[in-house]
């Protein structure tokens, strides 16, 4: 990355206030127009901007300033800055290596089936695709739809498990949990109303007590008129 001056207008404010450099020299160093530097000196421009000392940031040395003040034709040279500003990353879908781009439709199909709560923008961030491709797969209109197989994007190396979990949690935030499917345990309020199996068996055994049966038969025989 080419070496560029940090905050040129704030640097110009500081040079105007703290050096005897000419307007042309400051304009050349800060990539400004000389009239703009003159407006700064007259208080007509850059009002409210706090001056930035280029010596502290390491972009200009005291010796360079002294050389410029001694010779109005001297052009200040920019030093390597002490503060490195990282290049801003381009906003947009995640970059996917060419070798893995053919796997993206399979990953999209897996996400659409297993995480329908994900929005198109989230799927795009995870696997680096476009909304048009996602719509084609959702509507089964993709040109290779018959050959697609749902595959976890983490297994394909298109995203990390942490990224996937983060997007799923974002999509599920504020939504009620899904109702359980299949056999589940009954709540206590229901089970309390059920007769325990041991008590039911005890009642059944009491009804089939042999002593009680024989006693009842004996009482019936004693009342039988033919035996009298």
CA atoms within 13 A on the CB side of 167: 20
> Which residue in 100, 94, 93, 97 sits closest to 155, CA to CA?
100
What was the pLDDT predicted at 160? Answer: 87
Q: Please, where are the H alpha helices in the chain?
A: 8-18, 23-30, 34-41, 62-70, 104-114, 120-127, 131-138, 153-156, 161-172, 188-191, 197-207, 210-222
Integer-rounded Cα radius of gyration of the chain: 42
Its pTM surpasses 0.85: no
Measure the CA–CA gap between 22 and 196, rounded to whole angstroms. Answer: 100
pLDDT at 112: 92
- The pLDDT assigned to 23 comes to 93
Task: Decide if 126 contacts 158 (C-beta within 8 A).
Answer: yes
DSSP per-residue letters across 70-130: H-TTPPP-PPPPSSPPPPPPPPSSPP--GGGGGGHHHHHHHHHHH-TTS-HHHHHHHHT--
CA distance 131 to 112: 13
pLDDT value for 185:
47
Contact 122, 173 (CB under 8 A): no
pLDDT of residue 109: 93
At 217 the pLDDT is 62
Smallest CA-to-CA distance from 122 within 156, 153, 151 is with 153
- At 20 the pLDDT is 92
From first to last of its 228 residues, the chain has per-residue pLDDT tens of 456 787 889 999 999 999 999 999 999 999 999 999 999 988 888 777 888 899 988 889 999 999 999 999 999 998 875 555 454 444 555 555 555 567 889 999 999 999 999 999 999 899 888 899 999 999 999 888 899 999 988 888 888 888 888 888 888 776 654 444 444 444 544 445 545 554 555 555 555 556 665 666 666 556 555 444
């Amino acid at each position: 990355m080419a070496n560029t001056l940090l905050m040129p207008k704030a640097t110009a404010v500081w040079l105007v206030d703290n050096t005897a450099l000419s307007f042309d020299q400051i304009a050349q160093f800060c990539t400004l127009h000389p009239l703009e530097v003159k407006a700064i000196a007259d208080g007509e421009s850059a009002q409210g901007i706090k001056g930035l000392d280029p010596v502290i940031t390491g972009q200009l040395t005291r010796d360079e300033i002294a050389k410029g003040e001694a010779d109005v034709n001297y052009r200040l040279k920019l030093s390597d800055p002490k503060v490195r500003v990282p290049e801003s990353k381009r906003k947009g879908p995640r970059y996917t290596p060419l070798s893995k781009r053919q796997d993206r439709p399979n990953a999209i199909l897996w996400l659409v089936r297993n995480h329908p709560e994900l929005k198109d923008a989230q799927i795009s961030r995870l696997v680096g695709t476009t909304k048009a491709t996602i719509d084609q797969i959702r509507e089964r209109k993709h040109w290779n739809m018959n050959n697609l197989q749902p595959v976890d994007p983490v297994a394909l190396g298109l995203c990390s498990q942490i990224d996937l979990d983060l997007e799923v949690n974002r999509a599920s935030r504020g939504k009620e949990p899904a109702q359980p499917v299949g056999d589940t345990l009954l709540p206590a309020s229901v089970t309390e109303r059920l007769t325990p199996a041991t008590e039911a068996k005890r009642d059944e055994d009491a009804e089939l007590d042999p002593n009680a049966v024989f006693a009842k038969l004996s009482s019936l025989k004693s009342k039988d008129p033919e035996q009298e």
